[in-house]
């Protein structure tokens, strides 16, 4: 065997032993011929389907986000439309109101482990506050009335004048009901006695009795329509 042939055999054996060290020249951004020869290019239909799929996913995400926001907002506030004249002169039929649903809610985490338990109440109904609660029965609509007495208080009417715990209830905002008389009524704890501001034309606690605080949807805090009557609701009887 000559010298040149021996060198060729050694070089071949070296290449087989160290294939990872075989040098491949750079292509400088130019793909190697045949590198993508077996990768099919997407057709126009496939590209269109991909665009439609992406748009559908984005639309579904937007709908889900909007639904979550709607549920969160509705758990805090709710809008109502006044129907009828039982709350005149302070509320007219057709006016739009915002009800604060958290006004009388409470949070109780007694179901959590002892170290995480706590209880918090956002508030209790007070005399003079305007509230919304379900009417019940077959109609199922909600009513808007004003709280005139809370749990433990005594209320009565003599010749159209309201007496709360034996004292005249100052209520210049209301339309009195002439010479009507009733009571006294002692409101149970956890209940409120409600009346319409238009005392002569209102279905209220004089008919269906005190309302449980747990039935209150919330407190009316804002009137936003019509624009010339936009304002925060006053809950004072003075």
Give 204-221 pLDDT, tens digit per residue: 999 999 999 999 999 999
> In sequence order, what are the beta bridge partners of 146?
130, 195
First to last CA, the chain: 123
Catalytic residue among 124, 145, 181, 229: 145
Helix (H, G, I), strand (E, B) or coil at 141: coil
CA distance 132 to 184: 24
Which is higher by pLDDT, 118 or 106? 106
Which is higher by pLDDT, 171 or 48? 48
- The pLDDT of residue 153 is above 90: yes
32-to-27, 29, 40 alpha-carbon distances in Å: 7, 9, 16
126-to-78, 186, 193, 194 alpha-carbon distances in Å: 20, 16, 11, 11
Catalytic residue among 86, 177, 202, 205: 86
Please give the mean pLDDT across all residues of the chain: 80
CA distance 37 to 39: 6
Confidence label for 178 from pLDDT (cuts 50, 70 and 90): low
Q: What is the pLDDT of residue 94?
A: 93
CATH among 3.40.50.300, 2.10.109.10, 2.40.160.10, 3.40.190.10 for 78-232: 2.10.109.10
Percent residues over pLDDT 90 in the chain:
38
Of 161, 152, 222, 142, nearest in space to 193 by CA = 152
DSSP string computed for 66-128: HHHHHHHHHTTEEEEE--SSTTTTTS-TT-EEEEETTTT-EEE-TTS-GGG--EEE-----TT
Which is higher by pLDDT, 24 or 235? 235
Is residue 145 among the annotated active site residues? yes
CA distance 95 to 34: 75
The answer to whether residues 82 and 95 touch, using CB atoms and an 8 Å cutoff, is yes
Q: What is the pLDDT of residue 14?
A: 52
- The contacts found for 207-210 with CB under 8 angstroms, 24 or more apart, are 210/185
Q: What is the pLDDT of residue 65?
A: 82
Query: What is the average per-residue pLDDT within 117-121?
Result: 62
Is residue 86 among the annotated active site residues? yes
Which is higher by pLDDT, 70 or 147? 147
């Amino acid at each position: 065997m000559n010298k040149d042939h021996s060198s060729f055999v050694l070089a071949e054996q070296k290449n087989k032993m160290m294939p990872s060290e075989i040098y491949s020249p750079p292509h400088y951004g130019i793909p190697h011929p045949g590198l993508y020869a077996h990768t099919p290019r997407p057709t126009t239909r496939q590209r269109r389907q991909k665009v439609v799929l992406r748009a559908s996913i984005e639309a579904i995400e937007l709908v889900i986000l909007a639904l979550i926001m709607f549920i969160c907002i509705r758990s805090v506030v709710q809008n109502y439309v006044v129907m009828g004249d039982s709350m005149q002169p302070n509320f007219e039929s057709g006016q739009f109101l915002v009800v604060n649903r958290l006004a009388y809610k409470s949070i109780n985490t007694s179901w959590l482990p002892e170290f995480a338990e706590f209880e918090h109440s956002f508030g209790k109904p007070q005399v003079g506050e305007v509230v919304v609660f379900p009417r019940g029965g077959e109609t199922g609509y909600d009513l808007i009335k004003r709280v005139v007495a809370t749990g433990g208080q005594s209320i009565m009417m003599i010749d159209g004048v309201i007496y709360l715990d034996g004292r005249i209830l100052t209520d210049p905002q209301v339309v009195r009901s002439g010479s009507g008389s009733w009571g006294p009524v002692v409101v149970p704890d956890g209940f409120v006695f409600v009346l319409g501001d238009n005392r002569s034309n209102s279905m209220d606690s004089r008919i269906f009795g005190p309302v449980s605080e747990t039935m209150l949807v919330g407190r009316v805090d804002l009137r936003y329509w019509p624009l010339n009557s936009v304002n925060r609701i006053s809950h004072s009887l003075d």
